[in-house]
Amino acid sequence: MQKFTYVIKRSGAIVPFNKNRIMNAIYRAAVAVGGRDKNKAEWLAEQVVKKLEEIYPDEYKPHIEEIQDVVEKILIKNGHDKVAKEYILYRNERNRKRKEKSKKASQPSENIPWSKLWKILNWAVEHNLNTIESLNKRIANGEFPHIVHESESAYEDEVVTACDLITEKSKDIQMVIISGPSSSGKTTTTIKIKNKLKKIGMKFVPLNVDNYFYDLELHPKDEFGDYDFETPQALDLKLVNAHILKLLNGEEILIPLYDFKTGTRKPNQIKMKLNKNEVLLIDSLHGLYPEFAKEIPDENKFKLYLEPLLQMKDNDNKYIRWSDIRLMRRMLRDSAYRAYNPQQTLAHWHYVRSSEMQNIIPQINTTDFIINSAMPYELPIYANRLTDSFIQWEKQFKDEPLREDAYKRASRIARILQSVEPVEDESAIPGDSVIREFIGGSKLGY
């Protein structure tokens, strides 16, 4: 019988002890270094529990740091040095970011060039869209359609600039990578860029890297039964890289097909080959990850990064977080197209952010151009669609220690949405808008 019933978190909250959380932490570290043996991870977790029972008395409530200390020792003792190193590095990085988080919570990202942020902020000030208060005033004056037009025009200008930059390097480019965190608008932007450059004779062939996911049973899973698709290791990067290299060398490949309903990948399903003067086009969450297409020289790539770089302050004089905007976008998209209810999206978001902070955000400075996909008018739309839900989730998760992340996000977003003037009529939003990717009604073929 297990000795421990509860664990003390760093916040001081007391939550139920769950051996599966230890197993999943070990398995995640193993996946990061190429291992996928869940049985071994489960066995190691059992050794951790045994060691904890040797060290501490009955009814003791171990602190999460004490458990992690034992995990490190067990991994090293059993010859899993690489996994232990990854576990230690990840643990140290998490601790470092925790200490910095409170200092930087309301500051602009240091990963985005200041010149880019200043340009966007200047635009927002000129259009009276730099605060929720000024946004509400314009909506009250009946200017919502004008806000839509101004926002869409600014985004289109960025897309045109990206196309111009690609055109300038077209003689050397073999592949265009459009990357960015979840729900940044990659799909719509990819289509727009492809269509614009097609008019000047550039031919693109898309490679859908979602087909390279490992089978679902090989993904880490938490105590709520939620799988983590967000890490680069969720993709078979070895196969992705091999196929990209063959395509750019003019060879034919057979790409796999991933069935999201069954969570399985079928190998060698679709023939694919690049003809002369065709450019490989990739829309990927992890297109900037160093191991992605690592054998292709940088001069033969053009890398675009997308983020809704909204420069708007709330009523507490704090900048609205870009990740909160993307969370609301993903909620609406998942609900409409992926049979994934918004509450599930909220509960899963800590995986999204963890992977972004570790694998995407640090790579922003490797991009050739950054596109701002934020639309100031999207907040009134979300206020109409999601305010009541966020108020409900704030109440629901308030006293659930295991849902602390979901509670904090729900509380923050509920406060923001309640301060925004809601807009129900969405007819002013163009059919090819990046926002249609999330709210529906797009005329683009996804």
Torsion, Cα of 139, 145, 146, 147 (10° steps): 60
pLDDT at site 110:
65
DSSP secondary structure string, 223-281? TTS-B---SGGGB-HHHHHHHHHHHHTT--EEEEEEETTTTEEEEEEEEE-PPTTEEEE
Distance CA 160, CA 169 (A): 15
Distance CA 212, CA 214 (A): 6
Burial of 156: CB neighbours in 10 Å, binned 0-12, 13-18, 19+? middle
DSSP secondary structure string, 141-175? TT-HHHHHHHHHHHHHHHHHHHHHHHHHTTTT-SE
CA distances from 23 to 88, 223, 405 (A): 15, 10, 21
Let me know: does 113 contact 370? Beta carbons within 8 Å. Answer: yes
Let me know: does 22 contact 67? Beta carbons within 8 Å. Answer: yes
Q: What is the CA radius of gyration of the chain?
A: 23
199 CB-near residues (< 8 Å, 6+ apart):
none
What are residue 32's phi and psi, to 5 degrees?
-60, -25
pLDDT at site 241:
95
Q: Which residues pair with 284 in a beta bridge?
A: 179
pLDDT in tens, the chain (446 residues): 567 788 887 767 777 888 878 887 788 778 777 777 888 888 888 888 888 888 888 878 888 888 888 888 888 888 887 877 777 776 676 666 656 554 444 454 567 888 899 999 999 999 999 999 999 999 999 999 999 999 999 999 999 999 999 999 888 899 999 999 999 999 999 999 999 998 888 889 999 998 999 888 887 665 556 666 678 888 899 999 999 999 999 999 999 999 888 889 999 899 999 988 899 999 998 999 989 999 999 899 999 999 999 999 999 999 999 999 999 999 999 887 766 789 989 988 988 888 888 888 888 989 999 999 999 999 999 999 999 999 999 999 998 878 889 999 999 999 999 999 999 999 999 999 999 999 999 998 76
Let me know: does 374 contact 129? Beta carbons within 8 Å. Answer: no
Total Cβ atoms within 10 A of residue 395:
13
Distance CA 95, CA 91 (A): 6
DSSP state of 17: -
The domain segmentation of the chain, as residue ranges, is 6-104, 114-439
Distance CA 137, CA 128 (A): 9
pLDDT at site 439:
94
- What length does the chain have? 446
CATH number for the 114-439 domain, one of 3.40.50.2020, 3.40.605.10, 2.40.440.10, 3.40.50.300? 3.40.50.300
Residue ranges with strand state E in 78-128: none
Q: Which residues pair with 227 in a beta bridge?
A: 221
Query: Could you tell me the two tokens for 373?
Result: 């996909």
52 CB-near residues (< 8 Å, 6+ apart):
3, 4, 62, 66, 67, 70
Q: Which of 340, 334, 327 is nearest to 406 (CA)?
A: 327
Burial of 105: CB neighbours in 10 Å, binned 0-12, 13-18, 19+? exposed
What are residue 282's phi and psi, to 5 degrees?
-125, 125
| Matching residue, tokens 């291992």 | 35
pLDDT at site 105:
44
Distance CA 308, CA 296 (A): 28
pLDDT at site 402:
80
CA distances from 436 to 131, 327, 332, 387 (A): 24, 15, 10, 19
Distance CA 308, CA 379 (A): 12
Torsion, Cα of 255, 260, 287, 363 (10° steps): -150
